[in-house]
Amino acid sequence: MRHRVLALVTMLAVFFLVSAPLSAHHGVAAYDATSLVTVKGVVTDYEFINPHVLISVEARDSQGKVRRWEAELSSANMLTRGGWAQTTIKVGDEITLIGFRSKTGATSLRLKKILGTDGKALPKGSTGALDGGWHC
């Protein structure tokens, strides 16, 4: 009996130690949620994969320099349920990303909205994500 209790306690401790970092990457603390950034650019990469769909765009900054921006969305499974497909976005499409920029200054966004080539907002997927944005 004593060994069973010890084994159970050990398993629970391991579970919590392993799961803590997994949930931490879903937080918003790494992003400046005080102001939205709008990036209009050309899609250079679109990976419709799990655990997160990735979009990369090249956009010109205020000095005319081309910068690569990256955005991470929820899973392909969640987006599929909301009407997305591997062909929703294509390399070469001009899209607009609206979201919160990384506090580190990296050109990465926690998305709030994506406007397609026609200027219309793309659907958010089946859950709407954590805070009305794209990241899940």
Burial class, 46, CB count within 10 angstroms (exposed 0-12 / middle 13-18 / buried 19+):
buried
- Domain boundaries 28-115, CATH class: mainly beta
Domain ranges of the chain: 28-115
pTM check: above 0.85: no
Contacting residues for 90 by C-beta, under 8 A, at least 6 apart: 43, 46
pLDDT confidence of residue 3 = 63
pLDDT at 23 over 50: no
Bridge partners (DSSP) of residue 46 are 55
Per-residue pLDDT reduced to its tens digit, 52-100:
899 999 999 889 999 999 998 888 998 998 889 999 999 999 999 999 9
